[in-house]
Amino acid sequence: MEWELRLLGCWQLLGNGLPVAVGIRQERLITALALMGQRPRSYLAGLLWPESGEQQAAGSLRSTVFKVRHQLPGLLSDSLEPIGLGPTVTVDVRRFRERAELVRAGAAPEPDFEELLFGAELLPGWYDDWVIFEQERLRALRVATLEATARQHLARDEADAAVVAARQAAAIEPLRESAQALVIRAQVQAGDTAGAYRTLEEFRSRLRDELGLEPSDRLKAALTGGSFDVLGLPAPLPARQPSMLNAHRQLVEEARASG
């Protein structure tokens, strides 16, 4: 039996390519092993049955492991202690993390993976403390990888694609300054200086409203009209009066002087 476990977007176990129905207890055990790797029985019992006594939790774990081994042969490794998934089980989160680390190390992201970065939510609707911790870990990895992707697009002069990747990172972590900085750089490189200043102003307002803080000095340089800040953002130019209006004003002033 070839097992494939999907945890991004929803929980699904496939056996030889076909969905397999799994009980709640077995589902949670399989998920813990997929996210954390092999673990001692005592650790798993306390993690999955935190409100039960030690003996009761251990008994619940024994029963759950027994059902998985008999109903889903080959899904668990042969080891009795610690417990882990079988070596041939594929898990989408593990593959996602591997591909993300390659991008962060400088590899160009494949188009399908870049799209996956935009919406790869881990087990939405699960609220166990240990799952929430893993959700936060994956969310942080997505942001870092999206920022790396935006920097690569900028280096290849693909400003529009950089804006998309940077905005996705900023959408996940709206108060993350590095993501906002990449949005601004990409907007400037795309020729959208007005949009870059709008991004800065919106970020400053959000930071003040939610945290009572100001952006760092490197962002303030642009906000206060510095000639050139570390984001590569030029100072705003003064508005120019239309030439016809200037000419009209000059004629009025000359008439007043002669009168």
Q: Is the distance from CB of 34 to CB of 76 less than 8 angstroms?
A: no
Looking at the domain that runs over 3-88, which CATH code has it been given? 1.10.10.10
In a 10 Å sphere around its CB, with 0-12 CB exposed, 13-18 middle and 19+ buried, how is residue 240 labelled? Answer: exposed
**Between 100 and 237, residue with greater pLDDT:** 100
Q: What is the pLDDT of residue 141?
A: 96
The CATH architecture of the domain made up of 114-223 is: Alpha Horseshoe (1.25)
pLDDT for 150-205, tens place per residue? Answer: 999 999 999 999 999 999 999 999 999 889 988 988 888 898 888 988 998 899 88
Instruction: Name the CA radius of gyration of the chain, rounded.
Output: 28
Q: Residue 152's CB: how many other CB atoms inside 10 A?
A: 19
Q: How far is it, in rounded angstroms, from Cα 159 to Cα 108?
A: 15
Q: What is the pLDDT of residue 222?
A: 41
Q: What is the pLDDT of residue 193?
A: 86
Q: What is the pLDDT of residue 44?
A: 96
Q: How far is it, in rounded angstroms, from Cα 215 to Cα 221?
A: 10
Q: What is the pLDDT of residue 123?
A: 96
- Does the bond joining 82 to the residue before it have cis omega, within 30 degrees of 0? yes
**Between 161 and 259, residue with greater pLDDT:** 161
Q: What is the pLDDT of residue 80?
A: 87
Q: Output the CA–CA distances (angstroms, integers) from residue 119 to 41, 124, 181, 214, in the order listed.
A: 34, 11, 22, 30
pLDDT for 244-255, tens place per residue? Answer: 445 445 544 554
Q: How far is it, in rounded angstroms, from Cα 111 to Cα 120?
A: 14
Q: How far is it, in rounded angstroms, from Cα 184 to Cα 193?
A: 8
Q: What is the pLDDT of residue 163?
A: 95
DSSP output for 143-190: HHHHHHHHHHHHHTT-HHHHHHHHHHHHHHSTT-HHHHHHHHHHHHHT
Hey, is 214 helix, strand or coil? coil
Spell out the domain ranges in the chain: 3-88, 114-223
Whose tokens are 């993300």? That residue is 100
Q: How far is it, in rounded angstroms, from Cα 162 to Cα 179?
A: 11
Q: How far is it, in rounded angstroms, from Cα 19 to Cα 13?
A: 6
The residue type of 94 is R
pLDDT for 83-93, tens place per residue? Answer: 999 999 999 99
The whole-chain average pLDDT of the chain stands at 85
Position 29 confidence tier, pLDDT thresholds 50, 70, 90: very high
Q: Is the pLDDT of residue 145 over 50?
A: yes
Question: What is the mean predicted confidence (pLDDT) over 21-28?
Answer: 95
pTM above 0.75, yes or no: yes
Query: Helix 177-189 to helix 193-211 angle, to the nearest 10 degrees?
Result: 170
Q: What is the pLDDT of residue 114?
A: 86
Determine the straight-line distance between the first and last CA of the chain, rounded to whole angstroms: 101
User: Which of 14-23, 106-115, 189-198 tops mean pLDDT?
Assistant: 14-23
Cα dihedral 181, 186, 188, 194 sign: negative
The residue type of 226 is G
Q: In sequence order, what are the residues at sequence separation of 6 or more whose Cβ sits closer than 8 angstroms to the Cβ of residue 52?
A: 60
Q: Is the pLDDT of residue 69 over 70?
A: yes
Hey, is 22 helix, strand or coil? coil
Question: What is the mean predicted confidence (pLDDT) over 141-145?
Answer: 95
Q: What is the pLDDT of residue 201?
A: 87
